Chains A and B, each alone.
Chain A
Amino acid sequence: MRRAQTSVQKMLAHASGLQSVQVGEIVYPTPQWVILHDGYVEIAHKELSEMGYARVAHPERVMFVTDHEVAYSTQRALLRGQTIRKVAKDWQVGAFFDAGRAGHGHLHPMEMGLIKPGMFLFAYDMHATNFGAVGALAIPVSSEITSVLATGSVWVKVPSTIRVNLKGQWREGSHPRDLGFLLAQGLSKSTWGVAGDYRLIEFAGEALNTMPLSSKVALCNSITEIGVASVLFPPHDAPYDCLSDQEAEFEAVLDFDLSSIEPQLALPGGPDLASPVTKALGTPVQHAFIGACGSGMYEDFVDAAALLKGHQIHSGVRMFVVPGTVETQKRLANDGVLQLFMDAGAMVLPPGCGPCAGGMMAPLGSGETSISTAATNHSGRFGPKDSLAYLGSPLTVVASAIRGEITDPRSLEMAHV
């Protein structure tokens, strides 16, 4: 009898041309996409060129995205952009999204339907785990992406799966990022007796039925930094059976009731340093932004705008809004949401990573404090080492930007935008 398999086992088996795979097995899966962002194309090209490679193994599967440095703020960035254009042409890559053409590479490929349920792909950047939101398996391989470019694949160890069952509905003021921070903390500290290190986190449960893609993206994104293998929502409608079997073996099963989740912060230092927002109320902030790969979708801005309506951004705060993609930006502009942010004193930045990509745009100053929806907040992530970066949900960020200090979003009344 065939052994029951988890989704990730089925997807890696399928991509590796095998009937089934075991947890811990090493395989060479064939990706349907190989995605690199503008921060690594030049480096990968240089490394492979120096070894004599004048082409890549399967250019039609290679996708270049431009999100880290979109509106070149240095001459170096401008020259890098020229190099990337030349490499895209020389290598004849299958998909090239240049500056200003699409937006964040962890978001627009889903929006455009290029990433589909059941797909397997390799990416340079760890936050490609976002694609789990549509039921695609993305394995980030960092600098080993050069191996994928040169040979078509790189080794993957089949991870064990932690299933996270979700039920209930969010209470007002709470948001998927809040649960994401709590999950990151618990998996990082092994609070539930299981570590997150190279585990596949699979979400399940009745709460998924009414969950928009933006909420799934927020959950995928928030738990990535602790070193999970990847994150998956059930790949319904895949062209082959890749849903976890009922009898599949999970390393752990965790249950959460969304109605029990309170607004959280990730304290400066990492997305896993979760703390109830109430512990840091009143901390002055000078910098705030909503956007980046975990919170750059339409709903993230609409939800924040509902809190912002009727208020102004505090005079001591530089507030930035970074729509994840060009499509999202257009939709927010059409619906008057960007107008609302601008009327309140916020600045709109071009679609992409925003300040989260190393503070190359709209950085944090020395001694300043920021609150944002960034993907991470390690020391110096978007400013000098002596700046402090808190993370929060779009609701907590906008509430804090209004008051000029860390604020519980439940203390502001939500309007209907």
Chain B
Amino acid sequence: MFEEALIRRGQCHVLGDNIPLDEGIMPFSFAINRITDPVQLIPHLFCGVDPTLAEKIKEGDFILAGKNFASGKAHMQGFIAMASLGLSVLCETMPYKAHRGAIAKGVAILTGCVNLSSFAQDGDDIEVNFLDGIIQNHTQSTRMQAPALSPILSKLVRVGGLQSALKLHIELHPEMKLPRLESQA
């Protein structure tokens, strides 16, 4: 039920460097108001970069960014929306906390992808194998190699993020549903 393939194909949206989480990926007002409902968040995705982008993005698309993607305070609203749409991210670098937060929400991400803006254009049809890092551009018939998603992170993304992983864990370890007896101490 949690399986999400890590070989994905879709259209890409090419963004630049330094896209901040607040006001770039998602208006800060959603973070400060602690709104976590993806239905409310999705129409505002990337509106700070391009107000028309949310309308163009389809489920399963790719966001291609440069350096320092998702910078600033690690507010997770943007990643909640991206996870709900099944978007994937390729970028050159992103701050650690943002990377960690995105993985926790189940967003598939490859970092260390250089020169993406010359590799693909908006609307190109690309295919990414997160497990070996091979990225193919079917529109331009080119391919590039990026560092693969580690097996541990692949597993987390595949099950849909940290919350799903914990739900899965308790199904595999039903004893965790029972209080610990004093004698077990």
Contacts and interface: CB of A to CB of B under 8 A. Distances in A.
B96 A198 contact: yes
Contact of B169 (A90, A91, A150): A150
Chain B CB count within 10 A is highest, among A55, A146, A198, for A55
B152 A144 contact: no
B165 interface: yes
Interface in A58-95: 59-60, 90-92
Contacts of A157: 96
A193 interface: no
A26 interface: yes
Interface residues of A, number: 27
Nearest to A378: B73
Majority SS of interface residues in chain B?
Answer: helix
Given A51-B166, A151-B166, A197 B96 contact: yes
Given A53-B170, A155-B156, A150 B176 contact: yes
Contacts of A59: 180, 185
B109 to A, nearest CB: 13
A249 B169 CA distance: 37
B97 interface: yes
A227 B97 contact: yes
B167 interface: yes
Contacts of A90: 179
B153 A53 contact: no
B178 interface: yes
Contact of B177 (A26, A52, A147): A52
Nearest to B103: A155
Nearest to A28: B152
Contacts of A91: 180
Interface string B156-185: 100000110111011000011111101001
A147 B95 contact: no
Interface in A212-252: 227, 229
B178 A26 contact: no
Contacts of B182: 92
B110 interface: no
Interface string B135-170: 000000000000000111100100000110111011
B166 A146 contact: yes
Interface in A187-204: 197-198
B104 interface: yes
Nearest to A91: B180
A26 B153 contact: yes
A27 B150 CA distance: 10
Given A146-B166, A227-B95, A155 B179 contact: no
Given A155-B156, A198-B96, 14 more contacts: A28-B152, A51-B166, A52-B170, A52-B177, A55-B175, A55-B180, A59-B185, A60-B185, A144-B100, A144-B162, A150-B176, A151-B166, A155-B152, A198-B97
